Structure 1
Amino acid sequence: MLRRLILWLIELGFLAYVFLFAPPLRVNLLEPVQTLLKGQIPAINPVTISLFSMIGIWLLIYSCLIFPDGRMQKLPAWAFMLGSVGTGFLSLVPYLALREPNQQFSGEKDAWLKWLDSPITGLILTGSTLFLLGFALFFGDWGAFVQVFQSDRFIHAMTLAFGILCLLFPYPTLLTDDMARRGLRNDSQLYGLVAFIPLFGPLLYLCIRPPLLMFRTKSPEYSGSGLNQ
């Protein structure tokens, strides 16, 4: 109950802050889209491009845990993840708040789950993150980004959303449940590494975690422990 209450308070607090206290929306918010429609390339700060793209990286990281978890939930995980494409973490919080803690996994993985469960996916996301980070560090105008953060509600909210995605990842039972499904229930060192290193901790976890089915078939003696029932 407390876990759910805190998650709902985070969502409501974010919305209240953005609409009541954040900087106003800029008048020419759709200018980059209008520039693209004219066949021209809009001048967008590489820091903004990288930040926007890394929120997409975060959503894929969450997908790697939520879709396998959704197999054991009554909630349609795909609907929440589809909503997150347009709303970011605002669609993730309801899933995290409404899901039931569950450390089981049953059935076969389809092609989508196999891709999300593969360490290759983690490597691709890690490489993409490093590229985006380098793009922002070497080509971005950080001074201009700070000014936009202080004056543009969209960029302001997007930056805060990135930080909230970092904070939420280890908080709900989503991560601990995923670790338990893979025989990592008691690995407190790995949990600490994933939880306290923003973004790159979760990326490392996706690269090194054991596959779901390998753990289930390799360890039938766990069938009575609640992991494979």
Structure 2
Amino acid sequence: MSRKILLWLIWGTFLTYAFALAPPNQPDTVTLIQNLSTGNFSGINPLIIALFNIMGVLPLIYSCFLYSDGQMQKIPAWLFSIASFGVGAFALLPYLALRQPNPLFAGEKNGWLKFWDSRWTGRLLAVGAIALLLYGVTQGDWNDFGQQWQTSRFIHVMSLDFCLLCLLFPFLLADDMTRRGLTDRRWFWAVTLVPLLGALAYVSLRPPLSAEVATTGETVMQS
């Protein structure tokens, strides 16, 4: 099965499940979202607080891949990146399916690209994501979260969205590595086999993007 067909199948299945098969919305869902968005966390399970905020960090981590990748694509990566802050994998999956594999980088590395390419940006995101993970895991009520996962569409779909976003990095990773002259497959699998934490380590440690290096590499993983 080709990469594009697989990604469209995942997108269609997730869309169908989220709106047709997931648990129903609860009456307090809108209030919960408003409280989470405004920082009114009183009475909310820390696991849900952490998950909601990580869902804001994940699109930022993807931005460390998308803007340099989009430089060589016909489709506007920034549009999908912005949309992912609201709908997560529902926006990123179409980009991954529509983009063309391209291990090269050309054009100006302007200030915007330098920001997302910076190791310090990756490290700040890593600190934030790991802090949220530790907070949710250590302070959260797992029994309450399990009950809400079974009864609330918002919690249920957000949890699945989190899992998908953690697992989709490899579809951008191979080309990103090649642009940086990293062609050793062991690095690819080291990052891929540790979802989220592997991606955080990668954006914190990867060498800076260079047009000269990118044009000489070979693709790590074919589509």
- TM-score normalised by structure 2 residue count: 0.90
Question: What is the CA distance between 1:15 and its match in structure 2?
Answer: 1.4
Question: What is the CA distance between 1:40 and its match in structure 2?
Answer: 6.3
Match of 1:93 in 2: 93
Q: SS at 1:164's partner residue?
A: helix
Q: Structure 1 pair 41/55, CA: closer, same or farther in 2 (3 Å)?
A: closer
The code of the aligned residue for 1:192 comes to: W
Q: 1:184 aligns with which of 172, 182, 185?
A: 182
Q: 1:193 aligns with which of 187, 190, 206?
A: 190
Does the 8 A contact of 1:11 with 1:93 survive in 2? yes
The code of the aligned residue for 1:177 comes to: D
Match of 2:156 in 1: 156
Q: SS at 1:212's partner residue?
A: coil
Q: SS at 2:29's partner residue?
A: coil
Greater gyration radius: 1
Q: Structure 1 pair 25/205, CA: closer, same or farther in 2 (3 Å)?
A: same
Matched, 1:60 2:60: yes
Cα distance in 1 for residues equivalent to 2:191 and 2:3: 19
In structure 1, the gaps of 5 or more residues are none
Question: What is the CA distance between 1:88 and its match in structure 2?
Answer: 0.7
Alignment identity in percent?
47
Question: What is the CA distance between 1:33 and its match in structure 2?
Answer: 5.7
Q: Structure 1 pair 33/129, CA: closer, same or farther in 2 (3 Å)?
A: closer
Q: Structure 1 pair 189/41, CA: closer, same or farther in 2 (3 Å)?
A: closer
Match of 2:147 in 1: 147
The code of the aligned residue for 2:141 comes to: D
Q: Structure 1 pair 143/3, CA: closer, same or farther in 2 (3 Å)?
A: same
Q: Structure 1 pair 143/181, CA: closer, same or farther in 2 (3 Å)?
A: same
Match of 1:78 in 2: 78
Question: What is the CA distance between 1:19 and its match in structure 2?
Answer: 2.0
Question: What is the CA distance between 1:206 and its match in structure 2?
Answer: 0.5
Cα distance in 1 for residues equivalent to 2:217 and 2:8: 32
Match of 2:173 in 1: 175
Matched, 1:111 2:116: no
Q: SS at 2:100's partner residue?
A: coil
| 142-151 vs 49-58, which moves further | 49-58
Cα distance in 2 for residues equivalent to 1:125 and 1:108: 25
The code of the aligned residue for 2:190 comes to: L
* Residue deviations 1:183-214 (CA, integer Å, cap 9, x gap): 012x111111110101110011101111112x
Cα distance in 1 for residues equivalent to 2:215 and 2:40: 59
Match of 2:199 in 1: 202
Q: Structure 1 pair 224/198, CA: closer, same or farther in 2 (3 Å)?
A: closer
The code of the aligned residue for 2:199 comes to: P
Question: What is the CA distance between 1:156 and its match in structure 2?
Answer: 0.2
Q: Structure 1 pair 86/37, CA: closer, same or farther in 2 (3 Å)?
A: closer
The code of the aligned residue for 1:12 comes to: G
Q: Structure 1 pair 110/146, CA: closer, same or farther in 2 (3 Å)?
A: same
* Residue deviations 1:141-181 (CA, integer Å, cap 9, x gap): 111111100100110000001111122211x2x21111110
Matched, 1:2 2:2: yes
In structure 2, the gaps of 5 or more residues are none
- TM-score normalised by structure 1 residue count: 0.87
Question: What is the CA distance between 1:32 and its match in structure 2?
Answer: 3.3
Does the 8 A contact of 1:36 with 1:42 survive in 2? no
The code of the aligned residue for 1:206 comes to: V
